[in-house]
Chains A and B, each alone.
With several copies, the nearest count.
Chain A
Amino acid sequence: MEPEVRLLDENKRRLDGRAVDELRPIKIEAGVLNRADGSAYLEWGGNKVLAAVYGPREAHPRHRQDPARALVQCRYNMAAFSVSDRKRPGPDRRSVEISKVVSEALGHVVFKEQFPRTSVDVFIEVLQAEAGTRCAGLTAAAVAMADAGIPMRDLVVSCAAGKADGTLLLDLGKEEDNLGEADLPVAIVPRTGEIVLLQMDGHLTPEELETSLKSAIDACHKIYEIQKDALRRRYAVTTEHGGAPPPPKEPETEADTPPTTEEPKPEEVEAPEPVVPETQEGE
């Protein structure tokens, strides 16, 4: 794993010119599909991800229904052509695991008790992949859920930090991910700072872990602004996609908050302007 390729130049600039604590460019658009109850398209560096949400709808098969609350069920899928070597269609073990942890993370913010016996079905399709697809997919899925008007405490937002070439990096790119020493995908609920997804593989000292985790969390807050902006644009426009967008199921009360603030928590600190420390991240 000692990379022969140098991933950082003498000025600590990365292969794609980024600083160690710099995110790849991120672009989100909400409400891009017609059939789904809610949807979002996200580009994050070379990642292109689509998320769609159906529900709350009757969960099936029936025996999976929970009589006390809604299920939040995510299916993460990579298109066959999304990677260099064609991926066989259908879920592999990696996809199954990602679907599970993403479902758990999204489940935290949904007011599940309001919709017993139903399912909120979230579909993430990776159309083009370039390191960090689970973070990209989860971030897109939260926007799609808001677009679908699913009552939620807040959005969920995800970003990875990591280590490559001996240096802590934010939001690992492809080579950094392949040749790097550690990857730490994180997802948080921005208003509370709660960590709802956390995975790690590689090699980090406890101190490095703490620094990386903080760096990823800070980046999440930045990405949160992009999410909210996408939702604001979605409900500002009316006919861009041929026809007025459906009103969200929950009325929007404030212009600058997403339509998901069913239960505002005024006592919580508003997401501060994130300060990305001298660290680095990646998937």
Chain B
Amino acid sequence: MAVKVVSELTRNHIHRLAADGKRVDGRGPDEYRPLKIEKGFVGSAEGSARVHLGKTEVLVGIKMDFGEPYADSPNKGVLITAAELIPMASPDFEAGPPREKAIELARVVDRGIRQTKTVDLEKLCIEPGEKVWLLFMDMHILDYDGNLFDACSYGVLGGLSNTIVPASRLEAEDYPLEIQHQPLSVTAAKIGNAIFLDPSLQEEQVADARLTVATDENGDVRAMQKGLNGSFTFDEIKEIVDRARKAGGELRKQIVG
């Protein structure tokens, strides 16, 4: 991906606003852009969710298939997460195998789901050591206007929450996948000394540092990822975790609600 250049003018404008705690699109510091989740959009998938987060749009599809378990967890199903930053979504995305940005995205979203034990992998075991369910979570980025971590996090949780396990392939009855926890990521961007949640693309481009915090329904922390060249202070981390817990609670209602 080529280096993204933002004009100095734009950069200065956003920074000046941020110094006053203001955002370029008028949102409050913790205010998310409008979130719209359309579950079950893809009929060919076992579960799916189309997410609009402002002008960012992602489509998550959940597919299930048979496979072998890992040798060190013979009685567990396998979770596989992939993200495609397809060139449709942005002039900066290129076709080809996933680069570091897509890999980080997939791994951070995966971490939130996996560490929260959102899905009980032991229930995805069919025959220990031999045959288990593979659960594929594919994130397709369609329109990129910033904050993919959160949009994908919501899409994956939304997709899992309407997934039907195709047990009829095993001569059983199909049944809804059970969701044990509801992890949600909240991403903050630091611009100068201001910290804003749900950064838009413009904000991301001028941000110094980024922090994604995934919390569960109890407000416990399940995954974190800091990004960009900038830094956070200890107190900023604490503050972001706190704000993430609050924001996560409200978003959770919209998504699994």
Contact = CB atoms under 8 A, between A and B. Distances in A.
Judged by CB atoms under 8 Å, the answer to whether A and B touch is yes
A26 interface: no
Interface in A69-98: 75, 77, 79-86, 89-91, 93-94, 96-97
A7 interface: no
B80 to A, nearest CB: 9
B13 to A, nearest CB: 19
A81 B115 contact: no
B228 to A, nearest CB: 6
Interface string A214-232: 1001000000000000000
B130 interface: no
A107 interface: yes
A135 B221 CA distance: 21
Nearest to B83: A89
A206 B241 contact: yes
Given A128-B43, A203-B115, A64 B3 contact: yes
B92 to A, nearest CB: 9
A143 interface: no
Nearest to A130: B44
Interface stretch (A12-20, A28-36, A246-254, A266-274): A28-36
A198 B61 contact: no
A241 to B, nearest CB: 9
Contact of A204 (B97, B211, B220, B231): B220
Interface in B180-216: 211, 216
Contacts of A44: none
A108 B230 contact: yes
Contacts of A84: 44
Contacts of A130: 44
B257 to A, nearest CB: 22
Contacts of B226: 101, 104, 195-199
B133 interface: no
Given A50-B88, A81-B61, A99-B100, A195 B233 contact: yes
A97 B104 contact: yes
A224 to B, nearest CB: 16
A201 interface: yes
Interface in A169-220: 184, 189, 192-206, 209-210, 213-214, 217
A206 B242 contact: yes
Contacts of B228: 104
Most buried by B among A94, A104, A121: A104
A79 B100 contact: no
Contacts of A198: 211, 224-226, 232, 237
Interface in A152-171: none
A209 B221 contact: yes
B63 A33 contact: no
A64 to B, nearest CB: 7
B89 interface: yes
B42 A82 contact: yes
A45 B22 CA distance: 47
Contacts of B233: 193-195
Given A96-B103, A97-B107, A201-B222, A46 B237 contact: no
A260 B116 CA distance: 42
Given A63-B2, A90-B97, A206-B245, A80 B63 contact: yes
B138 A75 contact: no
A213 B220 contact: no
Contacts of B63: 80-81, 86
Given A36-B88, A194-B233, A206-B242, A81 B138 contact: yes
A201 B111 CA distance: 7
A172 to B, nearest CB: 15
Most chain A CB atoms below 10 A, which of B65, B145, B223: B223
A194 to B, nearest CB: 4
A52 interface: yes
Given A79-B59, A86-B65, A96-B103, 5 more contacts: A82-B42, A108-B230, A127-B42, A198-B237, A206-B221
Interface of B: 2-3, 41-45, 48, 55, 57, 59, 61-63, 65, 82, 84, 86-91, 95, 97, 100, 103-104, 106-107, 111, 114-116, 136, 138, 140, 142-145, 211, 216, 219-234, 237-238, 241-242, 245
29 contacts: A35-B55, A35-B90, A35-B143, A35-B145, A36-B143, A54-B91, A77-B86, A79-B59, A79-B61, A79-B84, A79-B138, A81-B44, A81-B45, A81-B138, A86-B63, A86-B65, A90-B97, A97-B103, A100-B103, A100-B104, A108-B229, A123-B87, A189-B231, A198-B225, A203-B216, A205-B221, A206-B221, A217-B234, A242-B55
